[in-house]
């Protein structure tokens, strides 16, 4: 029998709530949507259209990286107590393996490699509609205190 793993999420708002929070942001401008969760992954999709292609008519590598960091950032945000912490991108890399084809969607899934107290490392697989890998990315997030959450001098003493 496979070992059961506990869900990694501190909170799991609805997909609709996350997508509403993305209005008037890069996410909306590129057509990025969160589509679902598993116990250990966050999933989304992005169109390959005039917003996300390069002049040759295939998915722009920068759009893939923006999609990957968006999924990792949402996932990191949902893992931490957002009343105390926030996550910000610290480093990202990507290997572009095949072109994303205009007129289709690409689908991404962010899964954790390491969830530390002050940093997370997420792996993001981006696939085409046939399920073939288009891009694999790794994103490191810094977990930072929200402003006002820093300990006072008296509290540190």
pLDDT in tens, the chain (157 residues): 444 457 999 998 899 999 999 999 999 999 999 999 999 999 999 999 999 999 999 999 999 999 999 999 999 999 999 999 999 999 999 999 999 999 999 999 999 999 999 999 999 999 999 999 999 999 999 999 987 655 555 655 5
Q: How far is CA 64 from CA 119, 126, 136, in A?
A: 22, 8, 9
Domain assignment of residue 117, yes or no: yes
Sheet with 85-96: strands ordered across: 33-37, 42-47, 105-115, 119-127, 133-145, 85-96
Number of domains forming the structure of the chain? 1
Residue tagged active-site, from 3, 69, 91, 155: 69
Query: Quick one: how many helices (H) and strands (E) in the chain?
Result: 4, 6
Active site residue 3: no
Residues in the chain: 157
Domain assignment of residue 38, yes or no: yes
Domain assignment of residue 156, yes or no: no
Domain assignment of residue 4, yes or no: no
Domain assignment of residue 48, yes or no: yes
Domain that holds residue 57: 15-147
| CATH number, residue 39 | 3.10.129.10
**pTM of this structure:** 0.91
According to the model, what pLDDT value does residue 4 have?
A: 47
According to the model, what pLDDT value does residue 148 have?
A: 64
According to the model, what pLDDT value does residue 5 have?
A: 59
72 vs 83: CA distance, rounded Å: 19
């Amino acid at each position: 029998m496979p070992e059961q793993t506990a869900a990694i999420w501190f909170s799991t708002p609805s997909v609709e709530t996350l997508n509403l929070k993305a209005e008037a942001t890069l996410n909306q401008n590129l057509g990025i949507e969160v589509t679902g969760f598993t116990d250990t992954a966050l999933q989304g999709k992005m169109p390959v259209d005039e917003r996300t292609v390069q002049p040759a008519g295939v998915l722009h590598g920068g759009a893939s990286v923006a999609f990957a960091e968006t999924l990792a950032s949402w996932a990191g945000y949902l893992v931490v107590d957002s009343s105390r912490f926030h996550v910000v991108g610290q480093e990202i890399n990507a290997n572009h393996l095949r072109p994303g084809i205009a007129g289709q969607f690409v689908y991404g899934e962010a899964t954790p490699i390491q969830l530390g107290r002050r940093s997370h490392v997420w792996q993001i697989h981006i696939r085409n509609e046939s399920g073939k890998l288009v891009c694999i990315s790794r994103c490191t997030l810094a977990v930072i205190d929200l402003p006002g959450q820093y300990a006072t001098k008296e509290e540190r003493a």
